[in-house]
Amino acid sequence: MTKVRRHPERGSYDRELLMSILQSGFVCQVAFQLEGQPYIIPMTYYNDSDFIFIHGSPAARISNTLRAGTLVAISVLELNGLVLAKGLADNSMNYRSAIIFGKPVELEGLEEKLSFFKEWIDHLVPGRKENTELPNNDELANVSVFKVKLEQFSLKVRKGGPSEVRRNPEIWAGVIPFSTIFHPPEFVSSLQIPDYVKKFIKARNGDK
């Protein structure tokens, strides 16, 4: 398992924390190397308790590379606070991050792909898979889905206030929290917004 070397006190290898970080996010960064050239691609993802799943065009560079069995590093980052310290060198961010390492495996069967897409859309917006048109076989054949086992990973979390070295009482220090806010839907096909969409927005915004 990869060890956190920089600020090891912030490191963790707890599986429940990994699940919490993945559950809160939507986009990951997938890093790989091809012929000595490094690449990093932002992609939406879905995860269950065993794997993280990503998908894309079968003709894309990343799909061809992953299909060849190239090892990847997948990063998920959640930022939640701007840390302003008294000293310029001590400024930071509060965050939770996960790095997952592994060898991608491609989903081959159409039924397996369809099951993935149903779960993926329900990860994005719970309840949506019951209110959408499912892809046909041609559409399923024209997308590649890969999974990476949630086996090798490292986590890092920073929370709390500034780590102060300077003591100048005239300089303000503190944390400015921030978060993602979901707004009412736009460009809607109907003014009758489904209950699952309303529930999703409220839940993501922390409303009961």
Please name each of the domains of the chain with its CATH number. Answer: 8-162 (2.30.110.10), 178-208 (no CATH)
Listed residue (98, 112, 111, 121) closest to 146, CA to CA: 112
Range 22-40 average pLDDT: 94
pLDDT tens profile 69-123: 889 999 999 999 999 999 998 999 999 999 999 999 999 999 999 999 999 999 8
> Which residues lie across from 2 on neighbouring strands?
none
Using pLDDT thresholds of 50, 70 and 90, give the confidence band for residue 8: low
Question: How confident is the model over 134-183, as pLDDT tens digits?
Answer: 999 999 999 999 999 999 999 999 999 998 777 898 999 999 999 999 99
**Is residue 208's pLDDT more than 70?**
no
Residue 151 phi/psi, 5-degree rounding, is -120, -50
CA 97, 100, 106, 107 dihedral sign is: negative
pLDDT value of position 56:
93
Q: What integer pLDDT is reported at residue 115 of this predicted model?
A: 94
Query: Identity (one letter) of the amino acid at 93?
Result: M
R_g (Cα) of the chain, nearest Å? 20
DSSP letter, residue 12: E
Token code pair at residue 175: 């944390």
- C-alpha–C-alpha distance, residues 75 and 94, integer Å: 16
Region 196-201 average pLDDT:
96
pLDDT at 3: 67
DSSP E strand stretches across 16-128: 27-34, 37-47, 51-56, 72-84, 92-102, 105-106
Least confident of 2-11, 35-44, 72-81: 2-11
Per-residue pLDDT at 2 exceeds 70: no
8: tokens are: 């090891």
15, amino acid identity: R
Residues 64 and 41: their CA atoms lie apart, in Å, by 14
Instruction: Number of helices (H) and strands (E) in the chain: give both, helices first.
Output: 5, 10
> Sorting pLDDT into bands at 50, 70 and 90, what band is 7?
low
The distance between the two most distant Cα atoms of the chain, rounded to a whole number of Å, is: 67
Report whether pLDDT(9) > 90.
no
